Amino acid sequence: MKVLGINTSPRENSNVRFALEAALEASAEKGAETEIIDVNPLTISPCQADNYCKANNSECGLNDDMADIYKKIEEADGIILASPIYFFDVTAQAKAVIDRLYCYFGNEEFAKLFSTKKVSIITTNGGAPLEAFESSLNTQMQAFGALGFQTGDIIALGGNMLPGEIQEKEDQLEKAKEVGKNII
The predicted model scores a pTM of 0.97
Per-residue confidence (pLDDT) for residue 127, from 0 to 100 = 86
The rounded distance, in Å, linking the Cα atoms of 23 and 174 is: 8
Q: What is the pLDDT along the chain (184 residues), one digit of tens a residue?
A: 999 999 999 999 999 999 999 999 999 999 999 999 999 999 999 999 999 999 999 999 999 999 999 999 999 999 999 999 999 999 999 999 999 999 999 999 999 999 999 999 999 999 888 889 999 999 999 999 999 999 999 999 999 999 999 999 999 999 999 999 999 9
Residue 94: other Cβ atoms inside 10 A: 25
The rounded distance, in Å, linking the Cα atoms of 17 and 163 is: 10
Per-residue confidence (pLDDT) for residue 130, from 0 to 100 = 85
**DSSP designation for 39:** -
CB-count burial class (<10 Å; 0-12, 13-18, 19+) for 98: buried
Contact (CB, 8 A) for 4 and 37: yes
Per-residue confidence (pLDDT) for residue 129, from 0 to 100 = 84
